[in-house]
Structure 1
Amino acid sequence: MRIAITGTPGVGKTTVSKILGEKLNYKVIDITEVVKKFKLYKEYDKDMDSYVIDFDKLKDFLKDKDNVILDGHVSHLLDPDYTIVLRCNPKIIEERLKKRGYSEKKILENVQAEILDVCLCESKEKVYEINTTGKDPEEIANEIVKAIKEGKERKGVVNWLDKYIDYLI
């Protein structure tokens, strides 16, 4: 099984992925790290301070990988068997990304992506959405294990739009 842990930067993907990997005895693949290390990108976008992923190369790299957790905000685009979409209050995301030294432009883009459910909207089959706000990563990982074992799907449990519409104007 290939499990995608996706969501806007700052929602807790990497922390939850590591815990989940230990619980399931799955290898965790950090998509950003793999893209950089194996040059699975088309170019570097200086304006956005990120790599433009070559999805054909990345999918080819992952084709033989099984019993893995794909950790990254594009992991839902990599044909996973199960997609977990982590969500978090946009104000918390904003603070976390500031601490990481993200540019104001990149912070705004990511906060807006969270408000507009971008990762959730792009996710296709076998999707389970979790609001991570105020939750312990261990608790989140346990919820994911239970959801996978029971084959649960859940979308539409988080709505930031009404509360944070000002970020979009």
Structure 2
Amino acid sequence: MRIAITGTPGVGKTTVSKVLAKRLNMEVIDITDVVKRYRLYIDYDEDMESYVIDFEKLNNFLKDKDNIILDGHVSHLLNPDYTIVLRCDPKIIEERLRKRGYKDKKVLENVQAEILDVCLCESKGKVYEIDTTNRDVEDIVNEIIEAIKEGKERKGIVDWLSKYYEYLEI
């Protein structure tokens, strides 16, 4: 099984992925790390301080891997069997990304992506959405395990747009 843990940077993907992998005895593949380490990118975007992923190379790298958790904000684009979309209050994401030293433009882009449900909208197949705001990681992992066991699907449980319209600068 391939489980994608996706969501905007700052929602808790890596923390959840590590705990989930331990509980399910699976390997975690950190997409950002793999892309850098194996040069699975087309270019580096200086402005956004991120790599432009070569999805053909990345998919080729992953083709023979199974029983894995794909940790990354593009993991839902990598043909998973099950996609878990983690969501979090945009104000909390903003705080976390600023603590990481992200540039203002990158913070704003990611906060806007969370408000507009970008990862959720791009996800296909079996998708289960979870709001991680102020929740314990063990509680989140328990919910994920139950959802996978029961084959649950869920989308549209959060609405940041009506709460944080001002971030969109419209």
**TM-score (ref. length: structure 1):** 1.00
Secondary structure at the aligned position of 2:101 is classed as coil
Task: Determine whether 1:159 maps to 2:131.
Answer: no
Aligned-partner Cα distance in 1 for 2:10–2:17:
13
Which structure 2 residues correspond to residues 3-152 of structure 1 after superposition, within 5 A?
3-152=3-152
Aligned-partner Cα distance in 2 for 1:164–1:45:
27
Secondary structure at the aligned position of 1:162 is classed as helix
Aligned-partner Cα distance in 2 for 1:138–1:58:
30
> Which stretches of structure 1, 4 residues or longer, exceed 4 Å deviation after superposition?
none
**TM-score (ref. length: structure 2):** 0.99
Cα deviation, residue 2, structure 1: 0.1
Cα deviation, residue 161, structure 1: 0.3
Cα deviation, residue 138, structure 1: 1.0
Unaligned runs of 5+ in 2: none
CA deviation profile, 1:79-116 (whole Å, cap 9, x unmatched)? 00000000000000000000000000000000000000
Q: Letter of the aligned partner of 1:45 in structure 2?
A: D
Paired positions, count: 169
Secondary structure at the aligned position of 2:163 is classed as coil
Q: Letter of the aligned partner of 2:120 in structure 1?
A: L
Secondary structure at the aligned position of 1:85 is classed as strand
Aligned-partner Cα distance in 1 for 2:61–2:115:
32
Q: Letter of the aligned partner of 1:96 in structure 2?
A: R
Q: Letter of the aligned partner of 2:111 in structure 1?
A: V
